[in-house]
Amino acid sequence: MNSSTQEQVLQIRKCGMNDLERVTALLREFGYPTTLSVMKERMEGMEHDPFHCTLVAELNNEVVGMIGLRQVKSYYKHADCITEITALIVSEELRGQGLGKRLVAAAEEWARHQGCCQLFLRSGNRVERAPAHAFYRHIGFEKTTGYRFNKALL
C-alpha cells in the first residue's frame, strides 16, 4: 500500500527515553551537533523536572518532530509565568504539512496547564532562518525588539 492510500496517523505525546535516537537524529539534521549519550544525560536531567517538557510528533509510529519547553517565572510580569520554546524541529521532508503548528498547539496547551500566560521563543537573525520566522508569524507570534547577549562562563 503506498502512502497516498495509507491513512497517516499523527500523535503528539510526551518524549520518552525510547525516543532518544530519533530526537538526537532530528537535532543533528537541524545542525546541532550532539550525541546519543549527551542527549540521554540531558533528557534524564529534565525528565522529572516539572518546569521542562519535551513533546514529540509521531507519524505512523516514527518520531518526526519535537518541541522543547521550559517554564520561566518572571520578575517583571507580576509573578506570571511564561513558557519558552527552547527547540522546535520537524523532519525536513515533512515541513509545510502542519506538524510544527500541531507541536506549537500542544505547547500552548501545556503552558496553559502550567498557568502560564505567554509563549515565547528566540531565533537567530541569519538569512536562512527567514522561513522559520515566516512560520512563527503565520501561527500568531509577534516579533519583538531586543538582543540576546551571551557570556561564556569558564
Pick the CATH number of 10-138 from 3.30.420.40, 3.90.1420.10, 3.40.630.30, 3.40.50.10190: 3.40.630.30
Helices 36-46 & 20-29 angle (0-180, nearest 10): 110
- According to DSSP, residue 17 is labeled G
* pLDDT attached to residue 20: 93
Cα–Cα distances (Å) from 140 to 2, 131, 134, in that order, read 35, 15, 10
* Strand order across the beta sheet in which 62-73 lies: 10-14, 52-59, 62-73, 81-90, 116-121
Over residues 87-108, the pLDDT tens digits come to 999 998 998 889 999 999 999 9
Average pLDDT over residues 56-70: 95
Over residues 71-88, the pLDDT tens digits come to 998 776 655 789 999 999
Answer whether 83's CB lies under 8 Å from 119's CB: yes
* pLDDT attached to residue 124: 80
Over residues 20-33, the pLDDT tens digits come to 999 999 999 888 88
Answer whether 122's CB lies under 8 Å from 88's CB: no
Task: Look at 43-52, 64-73, 124-133 and tell me which has the smallest mean pLDDT.
Answer: 124-133
Average pLDDT over residues 138-148: 85
Domain boundaries, the chain: 10-138
Judged against a pLDDT cut of 60, whether residue 1 lies above it is answered with no
Judged against a pLDDT cut of 80, whether residue 13 lies above it is answered with yes
